[in-house]
């Protein structure tokens, strides 16, 4: 007698909110200052271009997800396109690392806001708060996907309502001279910043892992992806217009992670500042929650197909090993890197993985029914952004460039090392 199958109870809206929650926490509260340092007041253009690239990738992911729904998410797409070989394996290790970087990035932002409110910006306490959030959200993820989805829905609704109010109020009172194209940097700088703002859209990839919890993933997954991208892009553009129409680019860079709260002061006063700080804490909490969500299904899937060691499919008590490893890696990143470096590394890794998925899809388009033209445009846009990023941002950040090369090298070593060990084990077994 077969074991009963788990009830799939996640809705399209809940899957959408998991993606929106992951994206908005990274994009608005964590990246405005970093993006402003590169693109100035043209950050809204950077977000719009990044949203278009994400939409092209979203089309690819939606077609693949409808054809190959799995708890392995986009990593299933890699293995379908390339087989269970080294390309899929290296991509899997890279994506797992990118997920940890996203969690670390957003947790760092949470720590900055919490420290600003409670400890007058004490740097040590900021890291303590960030690590504490990772631990608490890891605990929530052990309860199950239903709990994650319900908590995420509540958080996202609160955050979206407040951000819409913020955008309307600030845009109604903006200073258009601050957004004048005459003050924009060159096209190269704006394109370079796209690689950074694209980081703000990484959360939509998380939605592909909800396939295991959706009753009808072939129909529901594409809807969730498109809804999430539309909501996130609209919020990003509107809020960045409000912020950079209220503060100068230099002020946004100076305020960094608290720029959104500072932008609320001129129109909403100190109460607006406090409200946006609270919103930031909610948003980043939800984003860390959503960022950790795929670690369980992803790790179990990769262990089952031999891409990861079998231990990744096991649990220590209530804690799945994949969740433990992702949370531990995110904690190390929080402690050892600053916010901008985390964002840069995460963007570069994600652009590589998404490009690999596009190539894999080109090998599968006859099965998914996707348009080759759209897939090629998406691939060129994603790879082009990565190239510009390497020739601009990474040139000025040698430490980040070294870290990126090290992450890729580690992924290659882990994949080849694990698979060589697995082959030796198979030969030695009776």
pLDDT tens, position by position, 56-103: 999 999 899 888 887 777 888 888 999 888 888 898 888 888 888 878
Mean pLDDT over 376-388 rounds to 88
The predicted pLDDT at position 230 comes to 93
169 or 195: which carries more pLDDT confidence? 169
Residue range 14-378 forms a domain whose CATH class is mainly alpha
| pLDDT score of 407 more than 80 | yes
Taking residues 218-245, report their average pLDDT: 90
Query: Which span out of 51-55, 99-103, 181-185 was modeled with the highest average pLDDT?
Result: 51-55
- Which segment of 1-5, 34-38, 265-269, 365-369 scores lowest on mean pLDDT? 1-5
382 has a pLDDT exceeding 70: yes
| pLDDT for 3 | 44
pLDDT reported for residue 368: 92
pLDDT reading at 6 higher than 70: no
Which residues, at least 6 apart from 93, have a Cβ–Cβ distance to it below 8 Å?
A: 410, 411, 414, 415
In this predicted model, which residue has the larger pLDDT, 336 or 232?
232
pLDDT of residue 343: 63
- Per-residue pLDDT tens digits for 270-301: 888 888 888 888 888 878 887 787 787 788 88
pLDDT over 90, % of the chain: 17
What pLDDT does 275 receive? 84
> Quick one: pLDDT at residue 30?
66
Q: What is the pLDDT of residue 234?
A: 93
User: With bands split at pLDDT 50, 70 and 90, how would you rate the model's confidence at 4?
Assistant: very low
The residue that leads in pLDDT, 143 or 327, is: 327
Q: What is the pLDDT of residues 337-353, one digit of tens each?
A: 766 566 667 777 888 88
Looking at residue 2, its pLDDT comes to 44
Mean predicted confidence (pLDDT) in 304-330: 88
Q: What is the pLDDT of residue 52?
A: 92
Average pLDDT over residues 161-188: 86
Please give the average per-residue pLDDT across 384-407, as a whole number. 79
- Domain extent listing, the chain: 14-378
Residue range 255-266: average pLDDT? 79
Give me the pLDDT at residue 360, please. 93
The mean predicted confidence, pLDDT, of the chain is 83
Rounded mean pLDDT of 102-112? Answer: 84
At 210 the pLDDT is: 80
């Amino acid at each position: 007698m077969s074991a009963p199958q788990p009830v799939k109870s996640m809705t399209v809206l809940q899957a959408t909110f998991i993606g929106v929650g992951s994206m908005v926490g990274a994009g608005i509260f964590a990246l405005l200052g970093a993006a402003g340092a590169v693109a100035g007041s043209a950050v809204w253009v950077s977000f719009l271009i990044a949203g278009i690239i994400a939409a092209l990738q979203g089309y690819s992911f939606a077609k693949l997800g409808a054809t190959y729904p799995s708890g392995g998410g986009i990593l299933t797409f890699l293995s379908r396109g390339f087989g269970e070989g080294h390309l899929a394996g290296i991509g899997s290790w890279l994506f797992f690392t990118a997920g940890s970087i996203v969690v670390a990035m957003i947790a760092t932002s949470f720590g900055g806001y919490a420290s600003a409110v409670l400890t007058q910006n004490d740097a040590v306490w900021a890291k303590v708060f960030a690590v504490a959030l990772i631990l608490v959200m890891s605990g929530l993820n052990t309860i199950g996907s239903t709990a994650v989805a319900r908590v995420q829905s509540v958080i996202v609704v609160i955050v979206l309502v407040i951000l819409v109010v913020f955008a309307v109020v600030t845009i109604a009172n903006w200073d258009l001279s601050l957004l004048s194209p005459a003050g924009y940097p060159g096209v190269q700088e704006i394109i370079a910043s796209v690689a950074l703002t694209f980081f703000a859209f990484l959360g939509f990839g998380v939605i592909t892992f909800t396939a295991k919890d959706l009753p009808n993933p072939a129909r529901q997954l594409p809807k969730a992806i498109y809804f999430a991208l539309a909501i996130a892009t609209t919020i990003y553009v509107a809020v960045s217009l409000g912020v950079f129409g209220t503060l100068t680019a230099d002020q946004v860079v100076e305020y960094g992670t608290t720029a959104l709260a500072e932008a609320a002061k001129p129109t909403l006063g100190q109460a607006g500042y406090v409200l946006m700080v609270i919103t930031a804490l909610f948003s980043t909490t939800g984003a860390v929650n959503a960022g950790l969500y795929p670690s369980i299904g992803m790790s179990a899937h990769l262990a089952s197909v031999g891409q990861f060691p079998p231990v990744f499919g096991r649990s220590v008590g209530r804690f799945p090993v994949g969740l433990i490893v992702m949370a531990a890696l995110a904690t190390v990143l929080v402690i050892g890197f600053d916010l901008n470096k985390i964002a840069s590394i995460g963007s570069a890794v994600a652009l590589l993985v998404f490009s690999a998925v596009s190539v894999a899809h080109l090998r599968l388009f006859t099965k998914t029914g996707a348009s080759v033209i759209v897939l090629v445009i998406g691939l060129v846009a994603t790879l082009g952004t990565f190239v510009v990023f390497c020739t601009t941002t990474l040139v000025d950040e040698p430490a980040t460039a070294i870290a990126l090369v090290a992450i890729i090298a580690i992924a290659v070593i882990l994949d080849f090392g694990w698979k060589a060990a697995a082959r030796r084990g198979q030969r030695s077994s009776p």
